[in-house]
Structure formats: structure tokens, C-alpha cells
Amino acid sequence: MELGLKDKVVLVTGGSRGIGQACALAFAREGAQVVFSYAGNDAAATATVAEIEKLGGRAKALKFDVSDAAACQAAIDGIVKDLGRIDVLVNNAGIAVDGLVMRVSEADFTRQLDVNLKGAFFLCKAVARPMMKARGGAIINLTSIVGESGNGGQAAYAASKAGLIGLTKSVAKELASRNIRVNAVSPGFIETDMTAGIQGELRGRMTESIPLGRLGRADEIADAVVWLASDRASYVTGEVVRVNGGMLT
């Protein structure tokens, strides 16, 4: 199925591992020019570039903190200068610092908002102008089932991910007249570094809560992201696409 992504310029934040890496590889398979950001793991970034090149794709890794507004603007400006445009933004970078609400420090709460929500806001703001000038583009924000349903011990994380849904819907309304679509993907429990440490009885209970009876794969999230970025989703904007094995419908 032709998705119309060949030679498109795509930025995936947090693209060196997990869901972000799966997205970067999926776009590369569609012939897109992939730029991905990462926070600190140089080895993982180098490995991801190599994987994309092995697929015959083109990739560039940018090391910056998405919670830094100036760094976000500089990254977008650099991409437009080097590659001529930016067609797709995938706001995937995120962190989770779990803890009961009475025990979460202000610093941990603020850091999760800074990375998970403000980072997406800064990058949406930065890409708006070049996308408006091109009269087209797609933005996909990675929220979470936790942002929709809540979860004990993750009040701060859930708040940041719920905020992403409001951001998505508002920016979708603002940019629709310029043919810029803004959507979110809401994963359930996915096999990533974040869930790898959950084992034993807790993992069993987690699996039992999923109607499909298993955790999802990162590539299953990437498939939804790539579809939303493609011409096949040309009339979809302001939506939250749930990929959660039936946990929340």
C-alpha cells in the first residue's frame, strides 16, 4: 500500500530506542528522510542510524533536550536549513518517574511535565511556521492509556500525558486550515525498557488486564503513527488513536 511518505522529512523525538526507534525504522522503510532526537545514549543513537542505513534509508541523529525551548527551535531551524522542509513531527520523547501523589517531589513532577508536555508544545510551535509556509504537514503526539484512564502511582505522568491530548486537539483546530493534521496515538502496555522491569505476579496481573492477552509491540505503535502521517489518513485530525489490546475502548 503506497503511503506517500517517500522523501518526506520526518523528525521523531526519543528515536534511539523503544517506540521512537520503531517509528524511525518504520518511516525509513517507507523511504522517508529520518531525523531523530535523543537525550544522552550515544551508542543507541549510532546503532539506530546504522539500522536505518542498513535498510537503505537516510538518517541523522540530533542530541538535544526537548524540554529546552531554544534547543527545540534550533533543531527545527537546522532541519529546514539542511533538508529544505519538515513534513512530519512525531513527539515521542517521554519519561516516567513513578510515585504516589503524596510522595512525588516537585522536581520530579516538573521534570515529567517539562519533557512529556512542554517538549511537545515547544516542537509543535517550532514546526508550525515551516509547515504553514508549505501548506501541509502532520504532527503525531504519543500520549498513553494512563493519560486517559489514570493509574495509581503515576499521577504526574498521567497528568503530562492527559495534557498532550488537550494540546493535540487544540493545535489540530488551529492548523487545520493550512492542511496540517495533528493527532495522537495512545499506547497501552508495550514491550519497552519502561515495562521490561515488570516481572512475576505484577506482570501476570498486567497481562490479564489486556483482552488480547499480551503486551503490545513497539512496531504495532509505529504502524499507527506512520498511518496517521500518511496520505491514507488525509481526513483525520484531532483524534486519539488507541492501540491498547482492548484495555480501553
Q: Per residue in 149-199, pLDDT tens?
A: 999 999 999 999 999 999 999 999 999 999 999 999 999 999 887 666 677
Q: What is the number of domains present in the chain?
A: 1
3 belongs to a structural domain: no
Question: Residue 1 above 80 pLDDT?
Answer: no
Distance from C-alpha of 132 to C-alpha of 214, rounded to nearest angstrom: 41
CATH of residue 145: 3.40.50.720
Per the structure, the complete domain to which residue 225 belongs is given by 9-243
Q: Say what the pLDDT of residue 167 is.
A: 98
- pTM of the predicted structure, to 2 decimals: 0.96
38 noted as active-site residue: no
108 belongs to a structural domain: yes
65 belongs to a structural domain: yes
> Which one from 27, 157, 189, 227 is the annotated catalytic residue?
157
Chain segment 91-109, per-residue pLDDT in tens: 999 999 999 999 999 999 9
197 belongs to a structural domain: yes
196 belongs to a structural domain: yes
2 belongs to a structural domain: no
Distance from C-alpha of 71 to C-alpha of 23, rounded to nearest angstrom: 22
Q: Say what the pLDDT of residue 166 is.
A: 98
Vertex 158 angle, CA 154 and 160, to 5° = 125
Band of residue 2 on the pLDDT scale cut at 50, 70, 90: confident
